[in-house]
Amino acid sequence: MLRLQHLAVMYHGTIAAVQGVSLEVPERGVVALLGANGAGKSTILRAITGLLPLHGGRIVQGSITFEDQHIENRDATQIVRLGIAQVLEGRRLFAELTVDENLRAGAFAVRDAAAIRRSYDRVLDLFPVLRERRQSAAGYLSGGEQQMLAIGRGLMANPKLLLLDEPSLGLAPIMIQQISAIIAEISASGTAVLLVEQNAQMALSLASYGYVLETGKVALAKPAAELLRDETVRTFYLGLHEGTDRANYGMLRERRPERTWSL
């Protein structure tokens, strides 16, 4: 359904963030995109959804097709209308708007009122906690609820393909389990999912196929089950290492904790 071929992206004409990435998302199921910070995962998502210009980025090479249509030059509004919705990293809710208003904003690209009502009911059925909190400001929800709202807001556009950027970020393990179950449910209902994660364990348990990115290139592309058995993935992404030798952590790219600028 979605196909990236030899995609290359540059920021400000100088920084090559993604260099010749090809990947494919089928019409059903979950595809995982793994990689450390700065590997280019979010850049790929931005390229798909037309958010690159906002960051001073540009596709310099390659193509993106969605259901056999070229979308690399479409703007964000058109891409949402074609059926691709993105849940941004860090949830990015409209904190001062209510849950209800966040959901309605998610349906902005949909013109059909009946379709909006259907999506709205579907989202509230999927996330019953949100139903009770429809009138409270999104900023007052707990971390897990905020992630649910972010996913729900993405679903309001009634997408054929949902792009999720780090849905497990900053959540407690029990919440991660819950979010996993929800992603499985969304996928089972027929929406394709491209899941970007640093939590490889979670991503590979959901996905049928996975790609591992390293510094803007695809380092590995295999069915998820094989990735789970892969030595490199086990060592560097799952933290499982059998044998007496210590893993060569020098190979692992430095992971800096994210700096917090605001509360």
Partner 1 sequence: MAYFIQLAFAGLAQGCIYALVALGFTIIYKSSGVINFAQGELLLVGAFIASVAAFEWHLNFFLAVLIAILVTVLIGVLFERLALRRMIGRPVFAVIMITIGLDILLRTGVVATGLSNERPPATPYSIASGINFGGVHFGANEIWTIIVTLLCCAALYVFFRYTRYGLAMRATALDQEAALAMGINIRTTYALAWGIAAAVATIAGVFLAINVTTFDSTLGGIALVAFPAIILGGLDSIPGAVVGGIIIGLVQLLTQGYESHITNIVGTGFDTITPYLLMILLLLVRPYGLFGTRKVERV
6 exposure class (CB count in 10 Å sphere: 0-12, 13-18, 19+):
exposed
Q: Least distance from C-beta 47 to partner 1, angstroms? A: 13
Tell me: does residue 177 bind partner 1 (CB under 8 A). Answer: no
Q: Least distance from C-beta 199 to partner 1, angstroms? A: 22
Distance between CA atoms of residues 86 and 26, nearest Å: 17
Reduced to 3 states (helix: H, G, I; strand: E, B; else coil), residue 12 is coil
63 exposure class (CB count in 10 Å sphere: 0-12, 13-18, 19+):
middle
Tell me: does residue 133 bind partner 1 (CB under 8 A). Answer: no
Nearer to partner 1, 114 or 263 (CB): 263
Nearer to partner 1, 169 or 247 (CB): 169
The helices-and-strands tally (H runs, E runs) of the chain is 10, 10
What mask, x for binding partner 1 by CB under 8 A, covers residues 57 to 76? ------------------xx
Q: What distances in angstroms separate CA 126 from CA 29, 95, 143, 237, 239, one per listed residue?
A: 18, 21, 17, 30, 33
Backbone angles phi, psi at 163, to 5 degrees: -100, 120
What mask, x for binding partner 1 by CB under 8 A, covers residues 9 to 28? --------------------
- What tokens does 18 get? 């993604």
Backbone angles phi, psi at 106, to 5 degrees: -65, -25
Contacting residue, 32, 39, 44, 80, with partner 1 by CB under 8 A: 80
Contacting residue, 30, 157, 194, 227, with partner 1 by CB under 8 A: 157
Tell me: does residue 249 bind partner 1 (CB under 8 A). Answer: no
Tell me: does residue 263 bind partner 1 (CB under 8 A). Answer: yes
What mask, x for binding partner 1 by CB under 8 A, covers residues 93 to 132? xxxxx---x--xxx-xx-----------------------
Is residue 45 within 8 Å of residue 37, measured between CB atoms?
no
Binding positions for partner 1, rule: CB under 8 A: 49-51, 54, 56, 75-77, 79-81, 85-86, 88, 92-97, 101, 104-106, 108-109, 153, 157, 260-263
